[in-house]
Structure 1
């Protein structure tokens, strides 16, 4: 049940929290980031969980999982799930920097 966020993913999460707090309030920001964090933990234990999809077109071994309006981009290797990015579903994933 091990996961870690890359620096890019940490920055994404901070931006999501700030935007959500500004638009819908601090309580909603805490709820939403809590949902994302819960998904990270689940991915740490079950990287190929139902609902996730392989996306080798992004990078070898990449998978994505949709959580509300965001996509968690991650890969699993050596017993660790690495959260690469947390991107809005409207973003073109192929144009985003993953590493």
Structure 2
């Protein structure tokens, strides 16, 4: 199986990658942009992407503590590789959704 698919597989990881492509973002901001994801699932996906080396977690020594997530250089290169897949989905969205019981977050 492809390493790239292993890294971004699942319902939320690719969507999360698109959000992080916009620049550093806090947990609450991510959650608001990904309607329907639970805190538990979001935290788990962020940890997995961080463990894969595509997401960086920055903890600021402030009161209250502030944490921001961003893509690493490896994550940015993975996002670039995923762009054709997103373009394919945009081009064929209506056809795919009309033929299958596909849930789109």
Q: Which has the larger Rg?
A: 2
Q: Which structure is higher in strand share?
A: 1
Q: Which structure is higher in helix share?
A: 2
TM score, norm. by length of structure 2:
0.28
